[in-house]
Amino acid sequence: MSTAAGAKPVLYHNDMSVCAAKVRMALAEKAVEYDGVHLNLRAGDAQKPDYVKLNPNQVVPTLVHADQVIIESNVICEYVDDAWPDAPLRPAAPADRARMRLWMRQLDEGVHAATGTISSCIAFRHQHLQRDPAELQAWLERMTDPARRERTRHAIELGVDAPEFAPAVRRFQKLLGDMDTALAGGAWLAGPTYSLADLAYAPYMTRLDHLGLAVLIDARPRVRDWAGRLFARPAYAQGIAAWFNPSYLEIFARERAAAGARVATIIAQSG
């Protein structure tokens, strides 16, 4: 299949990165073969000069295909759909396609940052706290985005007491409420057809589950049913579930009960 679009692509990614998982699922939907370069984010691989030349934002994923470097997971997903057009992942109807883009855009406009916050506050902080403090400090200093540096620092130092934690949980409450409304009007987020909008949210729904926030999904039968259909796709197994890192699953399992109690309080308070 990959030969249809010429050269075999190279994906710079990370097993547990939600943005990278999204792109792996898109590639799996298209049965595109690729060479993967796995980055160890905790070791600062995304900050190394050779990688920064490809991705100046110091993040995964990056797709290199036919000498072209494509960054930003949503952009990469659309690129994949353009470069391997069989089995389209974008709706044909213009209004559905516009809705698809609005869903994807929300990820860039707050939902991804909220995911980083809840992931770091509940789980990833425990990985960071085991690092050499000077090395951790240097890693934070090298982050080019000051907002990301600030919220990461708070998450590591304060956990679920970080000022960003409750707003991040509330952002997910709003998101899932909006999903519930959308799914009342069609089987998939952008309308009657499965699209990049659905695929893009698959790793985020998984992260909620891993972090003990599945209650937000389970409280909404339409969202629960949609997530079930999403998780049942072979591309989900191939692009996402196959990459679960056992050491991360162990941290999620250890930390999510305490976090669940805090989340329940935040949900109760926001009524």
Q: Smaller CB distance to ligand GSH: residue 41 or 267?
A: 41
Give CA angle at 233 (90, 259), nearest 5°: 100
Q: How far is the CB of 18 from ligand GSH (least distance, A)?
A: 5
Q: Smaller CB distance to ligand GSH: residue 62 or 195?
A: 62
Q: Smaller CB distance to ligand GSH: residue 125 or 191?
A: 125
Q: How far is the CB of 179 from ligand GSH (least distance, A)?
A: 19
**In the structure, how many helices (H) and strands (E) does the chain have?**
14, 4
* Strand 10-13 relative to strand 62-65, pairing: antiparallel
Q: How far is the CB of 168 from ligand GSH (least distance, A)?
A: 14
- How would DSSP label each residue in 44-70? TGGGSHHHHHH-TT--S-EEEETTEEE
Confirm if 179 and 226 have CB atoms less than 8 A apart.
yes
- How would DSSP label each residue in 139-157? HHHT-S-HHHHHHHHHHHH
Q: How far is the CB of 131 from ligand GSH (least distance, A)?
A: 12
Q: How far is the CB of 149 from ligand GSH (least distance, A)?
A: 11
Compute, in degrees rounded to 10, the torsion defined by CA atoms 126, 258, 239, 216.
Answer: -140
Beta bridge partners of 12: 37, 62
Residues making contact with ligand GSH (CB under 6 A): 17-19, 41, 46, 59-61, 72-74, 108, 112
Q: Smaller CB distance to ligand GSH: residue 46 or 183?
A: 46
Q: Smaller CB distance to ligand GSH: residue 26 or 59?
A: 59
